[in-house]
Amino acid sequence: MTSHTASRVDPYSDEFLAEPWDDLTLIRDAGHAVWLDRYGIWAIARHDDVVAALRNHEKFSSSRGVGLADLAVDQSWRRPSILVEADPPEHTRNRKVVAGTMTPKALRSLESAFAKAAGRIVDELIDRRQFDGVRDLAEVFPTEVFPRAFGIEVNDETRQRLLDYGSLVFNGNGVENQRFRTAMANAEETISWVTATCARDALQSGGIGAAIHDAAEAAGLTPDDGAMLVRSFLSAGVDTTVSGIAFALNNLATEPDQWLLVRENPLLARAAFEETIRRDCPVIGFFRTTTGSTTVGDLEIAGDQKVLILFAGANRDPRRWNNPDGFDVTRRLTGHLGYGIGIHACVGMVIARMEGEAVFTALRDRVRLIEPNGEPIPRLNNSLRGLDSLPLSIEPA
Ligand code: HEM
């Protein structure tokens, strides 16, 4: 065993949250696991090590929280998730319940609704020629199709509450800094809205939300557990997709050769979104807690340690990827970790990909030119990368 390296990298600094790439290189190059002494946590950022840790859920537990707080000792700001913050056998049972609702038939039925919504939104933007890629497209599309798929009425309040809740959840995973405190100061109303919205009676029949409740009941879970499972989707399914669409728009606007490839080949609309999830990796990292002493490469880590698993580090590891910082819509993307891997791998990734495909297919079919019309502004959040603003201009095909 070799001795470990300590690092002063601060994964909650503004600089890291806006552009983590140099710090992630430092972490990867320092060793298989690095001690971040500012917070007393480990960080893992090499692709092979991230895969090994995520696959080893017995040693790397999620039930003590996927954020910085250790739920064995710290109070959580919300009731812990019974999905992402659960280990087997509880996780296995709950995952089966939700996964069973994502049938090919249910997903196929969303496809035409997604395509129609994306086409309508893009048509409106073409009339305007200039718009903000975040506020007018990346936020508008998921906050329309996601609640509709789950049986939640779409209106201005729904859209805002979903965005607020996502922002709260991802800020709440971090250290108790100003971002965390600001998110918490406005949390009460948002949490009440989410709790009411996830209840069985509030969800329209025929939607995925009601299907989750039915499947939960059939598995012998309480109505409260059913609502908690629906809450998992509201937590994870909106801001992540908003962020992916915003970064993909930015990538295609700033890399005209890649846009041209997408224009020439309809299959690459989906690939452009997916390569963005690899390269720009909205979910920077989530935590695990070691259940006993374990090894990461040539290092030994003791039990009861919080370990930050950096999906974003793995996705740009030059040990795994050629030209990892480059945006290449023709890249073979097998093995990217933007959706995680192992038992907690994103259960909504098919929906996320369908959303990305719908938006970028609508754009490639209708738009000839997409260009920056100002500087993008990052949106800083304790664990979710994103953009606050992205001025764009487009020309119709
Ligand atoms: C581009 C969009 C998305 C990204 C980048 C993303 C990323 C992730 C990641 C990295 C994880 C793994 C967490 C871990 O290992 O601790 C995860 C889990 C999860 N995601 Fe996503 N996600 C996206 C979209 C969605 C959507 C659209 C939904 C719902 C429809 C969703 C629902 C979930 C749920 C429920 C989990 C927890 C799964 C479990 O613990 O078994 N996600 N996601």
pLDDT tens for each residue of 110-135 = 999 999 999 999 999 999 999 999 99
What's the CATH number where 384 sits? Answer: 1.10.630.10
Residue 134 to residue 129: CA distance in whole angstroms: 15
pLDDT of residue 1: 56
Task: Compute the distance from residue 84 Cα to the ligand 1 centre, in Å.
Answer: 9
SS (HEC) of 205-261: CCCHHHHHHHHHHHCCCCHHHHHHHHHHHHHHCCHHHHHHHHHHHHHHHHCHHHHHH
The set of protein residues with a Cβ atom below 6 angstroms from ligand 1 is 62, 66, 83-84, 95, 232-233, 236-237, 240-241, 244, 277, 282-283, 286, 311, 338-340, 344, 346-348, 351-352
Mean pLDDT by groups of 10 residues along the chain of 397 residues: 82 98 97 96 98 98 97 90 98 98 91 97 98 98 98 97 96 95 91 97 96 98 98 97 98 98 97 98 98 96 98 98 98 97 98 98 98 98 98 97
- Which atom of ligand 1 sits closest to the CA of residue 238? 27
Question: From ligand 1's centre to the CA of 240, what distance in Å?
Answer: 8
Q: How far is the CA of 54 from the centre of ligand 1 (A)?
A: 14
Per-residue b/e over 358-370, b at no fewer than 16 CB within 10 Å? bbbbbbbebbeeb
The 10 Å CB-count burial string (b at 16+, else e) for 152-163 is beeeeebbebbb
- Mutational test site, ligand 1, from 240, 243, 384, max ligand atoms within 8 Å of CB: 240
State the alpha helices, DSSP H only, in 318-379. Answer: 349-366
Residue nearest (by alpha carbon) to ligand 1 atom 9? 339
In order of 119, 209, 332, the CA distances from 397 in angstroms are 14, 38, 28
Amino acid symbol at 250: N
β-pairing, 306-309 vs 41-44, is parallel
Q: What are phi and psi of 307, to 5 degrees?
A: -125, 120
Of ligand 1's atoms, which has the minimum distance to the CA of residue 342?
Answer: 15
What does the angle CA 16 – CA 18 – CA 22 come to, to the nearest 5 degrees?
45
Q: Ligand 1 center to residue 336 CA distance, Å?
A: 14
Ligand 1 atom with minimal separation from the 343 CA: 41
Assign residue 151 a region (left: φ > 0; alpha: ψ between -120 and 50; beta: otherwise): left
- pLDDT number for residue 3: 72
Helices 187-198 + 178-185 axis angle, to 10? 60
Residue 79 DSSP one-character state: P
Domain count, the chain: 1
Domain enclosing residue 53, as ranges = 5-396
- Kindly give the distance from the C-alpha atom of residue 310 to the centroid of ligand 1, in angstroms, as a whole number: 15
Whole-prediction pTM: 0.98
CA angle centred on 132, ends 128 and 136, rounded to 5°: 75
Predicted pLDDT of residue 185 = 87
Rounded distance from Cα 257 to ligand 1 centre (Å): 30
User: Which pLDDT does position 2 carry in this prediction?
Assistant: 63
Q: Which of 286, 346, 357 to mutate to test the pocket of ligand 1 (most atoms within 8 A of CB)?
A: 346
| Pocket-testing residue among 280, 339, 350, ligand 1, by greatest number of atoms within 8 A of Cβ | 339
